[in-house]
Chains A and B, each alone.
Chain A
Amino acid sequence: MKPRRFNMRSLILNTGSSLLLPLLVLFSLFLLLRGHDEPGGGFIGGLVAAAAVALKLFAEDYKAARDMLRVHPLQLVGIGLVLAAVASLPPLFVGESFFTAQWWSLDLPIFGELKLSTPLLFDIGVFLGVIGTVLTVVFTLAEAEHS
């Protein structure tokens, strides 16, 4: 077999991925927000979101995937770790022990009651951390492939 020019631009994959991408991001957010009482959560949601960006990488190229993410994946890891650490602090101010879950409830005009909590903040931190870690690995592999 002769070595041939590497060309991965498939029309089917391109069209399919542009349909699939918004659904995947939506599904990852759904998994993230559902995670408290039912299966789901930050980790698996982050994996699905990272898979969405990896799909963009496969369907188009490295530059398109980087542009879609806009920031460096390591920055996402940093933001995620800060959010997860901040989630441990609120109970200290109300005299409870470190990392105790705190719940707040807001009354929104149209949507009704919105429950916010520190576990949710922690889960968002995990979500960003997982996206960042997985994409750091994927992007490093893609860079090694280019050079």
Chain B
Amino acid sequence: MNPVLDYTLWLCFAVLSVAIFLALWRLFKGPTLPDRVVALELIASMTVGLIGLYAIRTGRDAFIDVAMVLALTAFLAAIGFARYLEKGSHRDDH
């Protein structure tokens, strides 16, 4: 593999890993439910990115399909959560 591509991939893996931990921190901290939902969606999107990077690194295109299915389910989960948030009236989730 081209060394420039290799270093770039490692850099991207590192950045995404750190970003996932930051999003995880937001997921734990809250403070409101919409914050947590956005954090969860962010984690899902970054996981799709990680799978894409892994597909580049291993050269197997089957991982692209995994990323597609994960992105699809994350999209549906986002709509479901949005529906739930719209429907709910006042909540005490602080």
Contacts and interface: CB of A to CB of B under 8 A. Distances in A.
Interface of A: 1-3, 6-8, 13, 24, 27, 31, 38-40, 44, 47-48, 51, 54-55, 58, 145
Contacts of B89: 1-3
B69 A44 contact: yes
Nearest to B88: A3
B86 interface: yes
A6 B86 CA distance: 7
Contacts of A58: 76, 79-80, 83
A124 B1 CA distance: 40
Contacts, number: 35
Given A3-B89, A6-B87, A54 B76 contact: yes
Contacts of A48: 69, 72
Taking residues whose C-beta sits less than 8 angstroms from the other chain, chain B's interface range is: 10 to 19
B66 A39 contact: yes
Chain A interface helix/strand/loop/mixed = helix
A29 to B, nearest CB: 13
A8 B72 contact: no
B83 A51 contact: no
A124 B81 CA distance: 31
Nearest to A1: B90
Nearest to B87: A6
A39 B68 CA distance: 13
A7 to B, nearest CB: 8
B62 A39 contact: yes
Contact of A40 (B65, B72, B83, B87): B65
Given A31-B65, A39-B62, A13 B73 contact: no
A55 B68 contact: no
A13 B72 contact: no
Contacts of A39: 62, 65-66
Given A24-B72, A27-B68, A58-B80, 18 more contacts: A1-B90, A2-B89, A6-B86, A6-B87, A7-B86, A8-B86, A31-B65, A39-B62, A39-B66, A40-B65, A44-B69, A48-B72, A51-B76, A54-B76, A55-B79, A58-B76, A58-B79, A145-B87
A133 B36 CA distance: 29
